[in-house]
Structure 1
Amino acid sequence: MIGKFIFVSLCLTVLVQLLLASGSSPRKEQIPAVGQKLFGLGCHNEKKRIDQLVRTIDAFKQQIPAKNTLADMENALRREKAKNQELLNAISEHVTKEHELEKQKKTLKSKTFDLEKKVLEISLKEKLLEQQKKNLEDIDNNFETLLSNFTDCKENHEVLVQNLTNQLQSCEYERKMGKKIADQSFLDIEAIKRHLNNCTVEKDSLEVEKGNSLRDKTALIANLELCEEKRKMFNNYVLDSFLRNSYFYEVEKYTRYAVARLGMLPIKNAKSLIPEFGPVINDVLSFRYPINIPSCQAAEITNNTSANPSVFIAIISAAGNFKKRNDIRETWLIHLKSVLEKNLLGISTRFGFFLGQTPYDSIQKRIEEESQRHGDIVQIEMDDSYRNLTLKSIAVLNWVRQHCAKVDLVFKVDDDVYVNVHNLVNFVRSNYQSNNKLFGYPLLQTVPVRYKGKHYISIEEYPWVNYPYYVQGPAYFMHASVVIPLLAASQTIPFNPFEDVFLTGMCREKAGAKIQISAGQSSVFNEHLPTVLTPCDLRNYVGLLNNNQFVTHSAVEDFYRNKTQCVVTESDGTKKTIDFTAPVVFKFN
């Protein structure tokens, strides 16, 4: 086996040398004599294999490029190698640059951290400077205060020193005068004794006069008591003989009786609004209003122009009625403001809540806060109580005289009354020129209440069996032309505790104003309505007495949105639904 391998190797070596020498494929005839001898010595069996090998070598030779091609490939390889080298250099340079950028990034990050640290330090320093500045300002303020206190103290000290100096000088002067008097006292001792004797005589005389004065005072008191007894006896005689259980028919008789009973005298130097009404016995022009609302502006007052008649709404409220006032603000006052802001009704109007004073600081503070928040409070400097309603209503008239004199109508309404704004506007448009008139629910031949209660009045206060003709107090209109006459009448008539009886009855009678009586279903007010109001009730009145403003407000809105209807029975028995958009017509006799 080894010998065969050596023989094949020799044959291959000879063939390779021949190929390299000739540069072409070997042929049999080209094999030198040595080769032939070798073949002859035993290579015949390998001839086929050698021929196959020769063919393989020829194929391999065809795949080997020529010298020029190898040179070109070598050059190409060199160029490729050069490009690869350049690429390697570029990559190396890029890597170097990346390292440098990374170093720069780290350096920038370090610098950024240092800058952030410096910014934080600067911010802390700024805060410290602000605090120091504030401390310096506080020190300056404290210094100014201390300086001011020191100045005041210095001034007080100087004043004190001056006072002490003056006192010392005065003492020194008195000491000198005392010494002088003492020196002279020895000379004037007899004169002093004579003066003391005279003083004793005068003292005895004064004691006698004092005794006489005491006797005169006792006699005077007795005479006054006797006069008071006689006055009471006379009043009782007049009361029993002429007034008790009699009918009221003249306000002047009430005035004379009450003035005599109370011993009232005319107020000196009092301004009389209408002197023909008589002497002033009530001061109704000196009311003060510690909390107030702005006066009616001239631009808001129409002064009897049909295009835009005006009304002032005076809402009477008690000091502690915060909920009632808020309920009104959230119901019909919102409706009123909304309608006026849209200028749909063409009416210029103002309103205010009128209340008296309270003895409780907590309630007063809430009233002041309420006024600041809403700007609709007028507080009168008077005690707020039911028996003072007459005084409060007079104070409202005085406020209108001072702050809203050119308004067309005044609508007085209590805080437990709901106002139908649609009817309010219709009424004002229809009656703003009704001079010298009052509009309300009239009461005729109403009798005084003699049993204890809210409306009690004694026979001594009011001996008559009936009240004068008047309108119910919760809601009524008055034309502006009667404001001053009513106020003037209240100057001359002793007060009655019930404001509607006094103002719309007694004062109206003296002022000569007229009460308008409703001639139809619609009216200003009616106290005697059912607890549950019908749609027709809601439609027919301006003022509606209620226990819940929101319930009434919702019912009124339902009617004017046609969710509920007012159905009336005609004379022939047929049912008729009233058009909710049709304005209510107010007719009066």
Structure 2
Amino acid sequence: MRKARLKKILLTLVAGLFVAVYFIPSNGFPTEEYFVLRKETLNLLDHGVLLSPSHNSCASRLDLLVLVLSVVGSRDKRRSIRDTWGRVNQPWPLLNSRPTMKVVFLFGVAPTPEYNLELKSESRLHNDILQINATESYFVPTLKILMAFKWMKEGCSSVKYVLKTDDDVFVNLPLMMERVNSMKGRFILGDKLSHALSQRSGKHTVSPKEYPFHFYPPYLIGYAYIMTGEVALSMLNAFYHMPFLKIEDVYIGGILPRATRTSVMQIHPSWIDNGQKVDICDFVQRKLIAGANIDNDVIHKIWQTFREPWRCRK
């Protein structure tokens, strides 16, 4: 029975190799030449900045800069982050310290003048808003992050780590910092996806002119990934000389790292992108670093388990 199983596995591998050799076009997988930086300038990053945090919050060296993609209408989600895992200058529950950090929420131009006025008021109150002069759309997040890297370079360049996340994510910062502090070299960490097909139709459409290959390089799913500050700045510099791709996680989580010889790494099983599968005790019990698609009330419940861990004892 064991021999039959091994034979079945071998036949499957041979069949897969046959398909790869004979049916996948020669331009199926990206070549190493594609990731070589061009000598000429291909892209500009000249979008105006409408609102930005003061750089005096980065006057001293930060352990962590947290960049959070958001939209004006998600005020409750931002409040949840500010009240829980994104609270700055306060110790994490039951710990005597937390990383020195700055949280910055990233925006494009809102669809109405009223929304933009609301955002301006929120910026004055919290000093954590970066709004660029580009209309909000599905493909603007890539520009938001690159503009945030540019803002960081101008006044926050000594930060040790940069975390990019979304406004429906809970991040277990102590566990995350414990993991990254144990690592060396050039890396970007997150939820890794390999052998993903580029889409030629639908919501995620990318034309062959924008990206000529059928498969993307391994990349990190966009809900949460972390890198060193040095890597973030090198990716910003590479952007000017690398073909632009509007899909945020593929470009910033896969293409730019490869172009800058940065290791794209998975921490398994400490990331999850489906909030419906998250047990609120998984974080305090050190089973998860980050979870996405989490409702605001669940984020607060997770936070409460850190304040009262006895709730999760079995």
TM-score, with structure 1 as normaliser = 0.45
Quote the residue 1:477 is aligned against. 226
Quote the residue 2:49 is aligned against. 289
Q: Does 1:384 align with 2:131?
A: no
Decide which of 168, 177, 194 is 1:444's aligned counterpart. 194
Once residues 160 and 289 of structure 2 are traced to their aligned partners in structure 1, the CA distance between those partners, rounded to angstroms, is: 17
Q: Does 1:280 align with 2:61?
A: no
Once residues 435 and 471 of structure 1 are traced to their aligned partners in structure 2, the CA distance between those partners, rounded to angstroms, is: 18
Q: Residues 346 and 325 from structure 1, CA distance in 2 versus in 1: closer, same or farther, beyond 3 angstroms?
A: closer
Q: Does 1:515 align with 2:264?
A: yes
Quote the residue 1:543 is aligned against. 290
Q: Does 1:300 align with 2:60?
A: yes
Q: Residue by residue, what CA displacement relative to the aligned partner does 1:373-394 show, whole Å, maximum 9, x if unpaired?
A: 2221111122221112221121
Q: Residues 532 and 484 from structure 1, CA distance in 2 versus in 1: closer, same or farther, beyond 3 angstroms?
A: closer
Q: Residues 280 and 482 from structure 1, CA distance in 2 versus in 1: closer, same or farther, beyond 3 angstroms?
A: same
SS at match of 2:289: strand
Quote the residue 1:366 is aligned against. 118
- Note the C-alpha offset of 1:401: 1.1
SS at match of 1:353: strand
Once residues 282 and 254 of structure 1 are traced to their aligned partners in structure 2, the CA distance between those partners, rounded to angstroms, is: 15
Q: Unaligned regions of 5+ residues in structure 1, if any?
A: 1-242, 256-275, 303-309, 567-576, 578-589
Verify the 8 A CA contact 1:409 1:479 in the aligned structure 2.
Answer: yes
Q: Does 1:465 align with 2:214?
A: yes
Structure 1 or 2, whichever has the larger Rg, is: 1
How do residues 38-437 of structure 1 correspond to structure 2 at under 5 angstroms? Answer: 246-250=27-31, 252-253=33-34, 277-284=38-45, 286-295=46-55, 300-301=60-61, 310-334=63-87, 336-339=88-91, 344-345=96-97, 347-427=99-179, 429-431=181-183, 434-437=184-187
Q: Residue by residue, what CA displacement relative to the aligned partner does 1:98-151 show, whole Å, maximum 9, x if unpaired?
A: xxxxxxxxxxxxxxxxxxxxxxxxxxxxxxxxxxxxxxxxxxxxxxxxxxxxxx
- Note the C-alpha offset of 1:400: 1.3
Kindly provide the amino acid, as one letter, of the partner of residue 333 in structure 1: G
Once residues 291 and 109 of structure 2 are traced to their aligned partners in structure 1, the CA distance between those partners, rounded to angstroms, is: 27
Verify the 8 A CA contact 1:472 1:500 in the aligned structure 2.
Answer: yes
Once residues 358 and 297 of structure 1 are traced to their aligned partners in structure 2, the CA distance between those partners, rounded to angstroms, is: 26
By relative contact order (CA 8 Å, sep 6+), the higher-ranking structure is: 2
Once residues 236 and 147 of structure 2 are traced to their aligned partners in structure 1, the CA distance between those partners, rounded to angstroms, is: 9
- Note the C-alpha offset of 1:369: 1.1
Q: Which has the higher strand share?
A: 2
- Note the C-alpha offset of 1:471: 0.9
- Note the C-alpha offset of 1:492: 1.4
Q: Which has the higher helix share?
A: 1
Q: Residue by residue, what CA displacement relative to the aligned partner does 1:174-224 show, whole Å, maximum 9, x if unpaired?
A: xxxxxxxxxxxxxxxxxxxxxxxxxxxxxxxxxxxxxxxxxxxxxxxxxxx
- Note the C-alpha offset of 1:254: 7.8
Kindly provide the amino acid, as one letter, of the partner of residue 39 in structure 2: G
- Note the C-alpha offset of 1:537: 5.6
- Note the C-alpha offset of 1:300: 2.5
SS at match of 1:332: coil
Once residues 479 and 471 of structure 1 are traced to their aligned partners in structure 2, the CA distance between those partners, rounded to angstroms, is: 15
Identity of aligned residues (%): 24
Q: Residue by residue, what CA displacement relative to the aligned partner does 1:268-317 show, whole Å, maximum 9, x if unpaired?
A: xxxxxxxx752111112x34322111215565316xxxxxxx11111111
Q: Residue by residue, what CA displacement relative to the aligned partner does 1:512-563 show, whole Å, maximum 9, x if unpaired?
A: 1112333x54x3x322565342523663222211331221331342366233
Kindly provide the amino acid, as one letter, of the partner of residue 72 in structure 2: A
- Note the C-alpha offset of 1:348: 1.5
Q: Residue by residue, what CA displacement relative to the aligned partner does 1:391-416 show, whole Å, maximum 9, x if unpaired?
A: 11211111111121001000111111
- Note the C-alpha offset of 1:438: 0.7
Verify the 8 A CA contact 1:435 1:481 in the aligned structure 2.
Answer: no
Kindly provide the amino acid, as one letter, of the partner of residue 467 in structure 1: Y
Quote the residue 2:304 is aligned against. 557
- Note the C-alpha offset of 1:342: 10
Quote the residue 1:527 is aligned against. 273
Once residues 428 and 253 of structure 1 are traced to their aligned partners in structure 2, the CA distance between those partners, rounded to angstroms, is: 29
Once residues 274 and 149 of structure 2 are traced to their aligned partners in structure 1, the CA distance between those partners, rounded to angstroms, is: 27
Verify the 8 A CA contact 1:251 1:506 in the aligned structure 2.
Answer: no
RMSD of the TM alignment (CA)?
2.9
Q: Residue by residue, what CA displacement relative to the aligned partner does 1:36-58 show, whole Å, maximum 9, x if unpaired?
A: xxxxxxxxxxxxxxxxxxxxxxx
Number of residues of Structure 1 aligned to a counterpart in Structure 2: 290
Q: Residues 482 and 254 from structure 1, CA distance in 2 versus in 1: closer, same or farther, beyond 3 angstroms?
A: closer
Verify the 8 A CA contact 1:244 1:459 in the aligned structure 2.
Answer: no
Q: Residues 561 and 485 from structure 1, CA distance in 2 versus in 1: closer, same or farther, beyond 3 angstroms?
A: same
SS at match of 2:282: helix
Verify the 8 A CA contact 1:438 1:477 in the aligned structure 2.
Answer: yes
Quote the residue 2:238 is aligned against. 489
Q: Residue by residue, what CA displacement relative to the aligned partner does 1:66-95 show, whole Å, maximum 9, x if unpaired?
A: xxxxxxxxxxxxxxxxxxxxxxxxxxxxxx
Once residues 58 and 276 of structure 2 are traced to their aligned partners in structure 1, the CA distance between those partners, rounded to angstroms, is: 42
Verify the 8 A CA contact 1:441 1:471 in the aligned structure 2.
Answer: yes
